[in-house]
Amino acid sequence: MRKKTKNSFNQATAPILFLLPNMIIFSVFIIIPAFQGLRMAAYEWGILSTPHYIGWSNFLEMLKDTVFWKTFANTLIYSLFSVPLLVIVALLFAYFLQDNSMKGVRVYRSLFYIPSLLSMITVGIAWRFLLGDDMGIVNYLIRFMGSQGVHWLTESGTAMLSIILITVWAGAGYFMVIMIAGFQAIPQDLYEAARIDGASPRETFWKITIPMLRGTILVTLVLATISSFKAYELIIVTTGGGPGYATKFIVQQVYQAAFMEDRMGYASMMSIVLMILISVITLFQFAITGKKQDYE
């Protein structure tokens, strides 16, 4: 029988002790509220009133709620277009700005990174001033040049497009920094070997860079997806979810149910669906992107 020593005790307990503070915070602020949300979804409950158990009623109502499914579809469309675009733009920025010895590289990196330092409220207000129908600077310039203004935020299609482009503008710099770290972690030997073997820049990019960046791309995909499903401030400030329901996402609908209609239980039900949706998509991303790397 193996004798338990002081050293082995430390090896077994030290990691647990180090992890404990994080686990406590994670449990108190994430796990317990998530289960509490699950429980609340079975209740009819206004924030200042007594909860009443109603079983599956909120779930059944949600299935028939056309506005919820519209916001569900909008959230998917927004995520489907904004996330790949964010990752591609960040990848391009990082590709051209990865070399520390390039002249002016720090200035360019800073310029692209600055928007991600701004709060989404600030970003939304700034873009609303730019894209407003009547007071917007962009339309002012368009009209000054003799053309008709564009309904950037007041027509369904252009409003969604505007929101996606603003999201990319605001977030690409942040993901660029992660990508640059990924680029710089790729061993230079691989590129030298490829050059000796006569590989073209395109072949090098697709057969060395991209496979070596797979882990970094997965991280950015997961972070961007989760962030896209939680987009709230930017939408509220820029379009308010409109016109109509054109840019209204699940999160806005949850907020409306909870704080405007005073239906915390129904809002919890929608939040649970959102959580499941994010989890499924994240697992799917891990499944397709997180395969064993094949560059060896």
Partner 1 sequence: MKRIALLIVILVSVLMPTFSAPTTLTVLWFNDANESEVFQNTMADYVAKNPSVKLDVQVVAFSAYEQKLKLMIAGGNPPDVARVTNNQISALIDALLPLDGKIQGLDEMKKNYLPASLAFALDGKGKLVAFPTEATANGMLVNKTAFKNAGIDVDTISKTWTWADWETLIAKVIAANLKMKYGLAVDFTPHRFSTLMFQQGGHFLNATQTGMDFENPGTIASLRFFKSLHDKGLIPKSVWMGSENPAELFQAGLVACHIGGSWNINTYKQNVKDFEWGAVRMPKGAINSSVPGGKFIATFKGGKNEAEALRLITAFADKEHTSAYVRDTFNLSSRTDTVVNYPSNSKDFAIFLEELKVTPSFTADEWKNVELNKVSTFIREQIVQVLMGNLTPEQAAKAVQEKGSTYFK
Query: Which residues of the chain form contacts with partner 1 (CB under 8 A)?
Result: 47-49, 67, 128, 132-135, 151, 153-156, 237-240, 242-245, 256, 259-262
CA distances 138 to 155, 166, 220, Å, are 16, 14, 31
CB of 114 to partner 1, least distance (A): 24
Instruction: Give the nearest distance from C-beta 152 to partner 1 in angstroms.
Output: 8
Q: Name the minimum Å distance from CB 246 to partner 1.
A: 9
Cα–Cα distance, 201 to 217 (Å, whole number): 20
Closer by beta carbon to partner 1, 23 or else 137: 137
- Complex with partner 1: residue 233 or 289, whichever CB lies closer: 233
Element (H, E) at 44: strand 43-44
Q: Which is nearer to partner 1, 211 or 242 (CB)?
A: 242
Rank residues 91 and 235 by Cβ distance to partner 1 and give the closer one. 235
| Nearest in space to 127 (alpha carbons), one of 159, 86, 167, 166 | 166
Q: Minimum CB separation from partner 1 for residue 148, in Å?
A: 13
- When the beta carbons of 31 and 135 are compared against partner 1, the nearer one is 135
Nearer to partner 1, 94 or 234 (CB): 234
Closest approach of Cβ 157 to partner 1, in Å?
12
Give SS3 for 52.
Answer: strand
Whether the Cβ atoms of residue 116 and residue 171 lie closer than 8 Å to each other: yes
182, 216 contact by CB (below 8 A): yes
In whole angstroms, give the CA distance from residue 201 to residue 203: 5
Nearest distance from residue 17's CB to partner 1, in Å? 32
Alpha helices in the chain (DSSP H): 6-26, 32-40, 57-64, 66-97, 105-117, 120-131, 137-144, 156-184, 188-196, 201-204, 210-212, 214-229, 233-238, 250-255, 264-289
